[in-house]
């Protein structure tokens, strides 16, 4: 059982009959021991308090470290999720653009076919009209006969090139 400074100060030494001791020297020694022991005792208490503070601080640092690690993991996960979402969105945009491109291509192809058919129909009408103009006309009343000069203007206007 450890002694306290107070216990050291109150130690009583008995004198032996034959051999005594010098009371003042022993009392001074006991006082010095008590003072030293008291200093050590205080230092031990201070160190215990400091140890408690440091352990508390270390605990806070460990909690902060755990929080930072958790935050880092969450941030990395969020970053990965955002990258994956962006990749999915870009894939969707590409797919939509490709589908729109195919739709426009089909529409333009259909429009091209429609226009080519329209051109064929108009050319057929022009050929038919030119053939009618080139056929000898049935006798008609003079007021109804077309003038040959007017017909030459039609031939020169480039209709034959379109039909031809």
Spell out the domain ranges in the chain. 5-135+146-163
Q: Which residues contact 9 (CB under 8 A, 6 or more apart)?
A: 30, 31, 34
**3 compared with 110, residue with greater pLDDT:** 110
Contacts of 137 (CB under 8 A, 6+ apart): 145, 146
Tokens coding 51: 């140890």
Query: pLDDT class for 156, splitting at 50, 70, 90?
Result: very low
**3-class DSSP state for residue 152?**
helix
pLDDT of residue 135: 79
How many residues make up the chain in this entry? Answer: 164
pTM value is 0.43
Band (pLDDT 50/70/90 cuts) for residue 27 is confident
């Amino acid at each position: 059982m450890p002694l306290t400074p107070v216990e050291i100060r109150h130690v009583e030494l008995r004198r032996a009959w034959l051999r005594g001791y010098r009371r003042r020297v022993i009392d001074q020694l006991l006082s010095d021991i008590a003072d030293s022991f008291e200093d050590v005792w205080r230092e031990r208490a201070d160190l215990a308090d400091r140890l408690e503070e440091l352990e508390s601080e270390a605990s806070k640092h460990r909690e902060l470290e755990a929080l930072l690690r958790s935050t880092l993991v969450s941030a990395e996960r969020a970053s990965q999720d955002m990258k994956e979402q962006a990749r999915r969105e870009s894939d969707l945009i590409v797919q939509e653009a490709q589908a729109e491109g195919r739709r426009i291509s089909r529409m333009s192809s259909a429009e091209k076919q429609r226009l080519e058919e329209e051109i064929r129909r108009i050319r057929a009408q022009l050929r038919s009209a030119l053939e009618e103009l080139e056929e000898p006309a049935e006798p008609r009343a003079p007021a109804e006969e077309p003038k040959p000069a007017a017909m030459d203007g039609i031939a020169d206007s480039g209709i034959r090139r379109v039909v031809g």
